[in-house]
Amino acid sequence: MTHYAANKFSATTPIYYVNAKPHLGHAYTTIVADAVARWHRLLGEDVHLLTGTDEHGLKIQQAADAAGVSPQQFVDSIAPKFEQAWERLNITHDDFIRTTEPRHAVGVKKLLQACYDAGDIESDFYRGQYCVACEAYFIDDELVNGNCPIHNTPTTFVEEENYFFRLSRFEERLLKWYADHPNCITPGFRLNEVTGFIKTGLQDFSISRKTLTWGIPLPWDESHVTYVWFDALANYITAVGYGTDDAAFNANWPVDFHFLGKDIIRFHCVYWPAMLMSAGIEPPKGWAVGGWLLAGGEKMSKTTGNVVNPLDLIDDIGVDGFRYYVLADTVYGNDGDFTYEGLISRYNSDLANNLGNLAARIATVVEKKCGGIGPTPSLNSILAAAAATAVADTSAAWHSVQPSRALEATWGLIKATNAYLENNEPWKMEPGEAVDTVMGDALEALRIVTILANPALPTSTQEIWRRIGLTGEITDLRIGADTQWGQYPSGRQVVKGEPLFPRKK
């Protein structure tokens, strides 16, 4: 991948269905995208992070009917819950698109028209099994005991006149594109899944429904509204100006990474690049595909009923504690098993015992042995090498969208610093040069840790920064220049403060 050299970095999350409130699964993908975006800002890149809500379609219409309100009233009541959740989770998106916005409708119509003019959208009859929860048709072979393979609920037989996108014409073009861009999907094994699927032969897919009214009408036949995926995927381009601001669009597309869960990989890695190719638009540069967060072995979702509200967990563990858990506990790309015990145990070991303890210990010893003023580090400290390794490994891991490995590398420096303190036992020393050397080195290591851990723990790292006497915002610093060993200044007052991560039972 070539993202290192670029001075622009753009990323998107899926846009979430507003048939239900945000849950842990939504929060997971959004926090990963946010942390990666924050890392790229620390690299000095011009970052654009997009998220939003998917508000059209049968699923939403049915949820509105069930609530006894109009679809518009319904989506207007749920969409703000996503915005509030992201604010609470400290998500730094630059834009939030709702598919009911006018800018979106304009761009969707332009995209539809471009594919229609290219001859890739045609009218035909559809007969097949449809899953409302997925908003997708399935062929018989894909059903499991007659049920939807994702939701394990019965599908419905549907026969109607639809417009179809001729996906079957794109097999060769897609395979060639993937052969030319072998590193575009992370983790890499997902690329094989995508190309394997393309090689089994692609089916044309339906893009419109006559029976549905809650959606965007086709520009050439207003008796149809476009079907959910054509509408939803287009958000990635309509948000950056497609159809409304050509200059902005040309400056911001193609996107560096779409973040998504493995459940929607076909739509993102097969349908979407084909739709873009048809319309004469460059496909995305990259996709970062996450696994599922499972609760009791099942994908957490409204349909299966095992939904954990992330906001309830924050009350318990703090925003940073929660962000850290979802970033550190699951290797991005693999499935993760959410348990409350796992959350508490990771919080206690990594945050309370490691980072929290290091910060508290340093402040205590500096207060007792150095008169509360932080000493400066020595340039040939053995911690300097540990810091350089942590910076290099943390950078490489964020670069390849591996937050858990990035945090592991950062925590390597925390552990080395705790070990350095235990070996030297500065708390047993008399005040003087020797204790000053040890504490200056520990402060410098902690300074570097707070920068490296900032994308995961934005609030508590800033608080540590302040407590060790440093000023300004970590988010204004740069990986590289500001993570070089030896910059902790002289004469700064170090304060202990309340425990940042009190131990939980």
Residues with a catalytic annotation lie at: 23, 26, 131, 134, 148, 151, 299, 302
Name the minimum Å distance from CB 119 to ligand MSP.
Answer: 25
Choice between 330 and 394, CB closer to ligand MSP: 330
User: What is the sign of the dihedral through the CA atoms of 127, 132, 138 and 143?
Assistant: negative
Q: Please tell me whether residue 101 binds ligand MSP under the rule CB under 6 A.
A: no
Rank residues 56 and 447 by Cβ distance to ligand MSP and give the closer one.
56
CB of 491 within 8 A of CB of 376?
no
Nearer Cβ to ligand MSP, position 76 or 263? 263
User: Restricting to residues 215-234, which ones interact with ligand MSP according to CB under 6 A?
Assistant: 232-233
Query: Which residues is 411 bridged to in the sheet?
Result: none
The one among 75, 79, 260, 355 contacting ligand MSP by CB under 6 A: 260
Among 269, 263, 321, which Cα is nearest to 292's? 263
Give the strand pairing for 208-209 and 95-98: unpaired
Query: Which range, of 70-78, 168-176, 248-256, 261-269, touches ligand MSP by CB under 6 A?
Result: 261-269
Q: Which of 9, 10, 11, 26 binds ligand MSP (CB under 6 A)?
A: 26
Nearer to ligand MSP, 326 or 500 (CB): 326
* Interface with ligand MSP, residue 161, by CB under 6 A: no
When asked if residue 17 is in the footprint of ligand MSP (CB under 6 A), the reply is yes
Binding mask 270-299 for ligand MSP (x = CB under 6 A): ----------------------xx-----x
User: How many of the chain's residues bind ligand MSP (CB under 6 A)?
Assistant: 21
In the complex with ligand MSP, the residue whose CB is nearer, 82 or 411, is 82
Q: Is 59 in the site for ligand MSP (CB under 6 A)?
A: no
Cα dihedral 341→343→345→347 (10° resolution): -150
* Cβ closest to ligand MSP, residue 129 vs residue 301: 301
Q: How many CB atoms lie within 10 A of CB 471?
A: 8
Least distance (Å) from ligand MSP to the CB of residue 224? 20
Nearest to 207 by CA among 176, 229, 187: 229
- To ligand MSP, the closest distance from the beta carbon of 236 in angstroms equals 7
Judge contact between 480 and 394, C-beta under 8 A: no
Q: Select from 9, 82, 20 the least CA-distant residue to 51.
A: 82
DSSP 8-state symbol, 88: H
Alpha-carbon distance 330 to 310, whole Å?
16
Residue type, 61: Q
**Cα–Cα distance, 137 to 118 (Å, whole number):** 24
CA distance 149 to 154: 10
Say whether residue 264 binds ligand MSP (CB under 6 A): yes
Element (H, E) at 121: strand 121-131
Binding positions for ligand MSP, rule: CB under 6 A: 14-17, 25-26, 28-29, 54, 232-233, 235, 260-261, 263-264, 292-293, 299-301
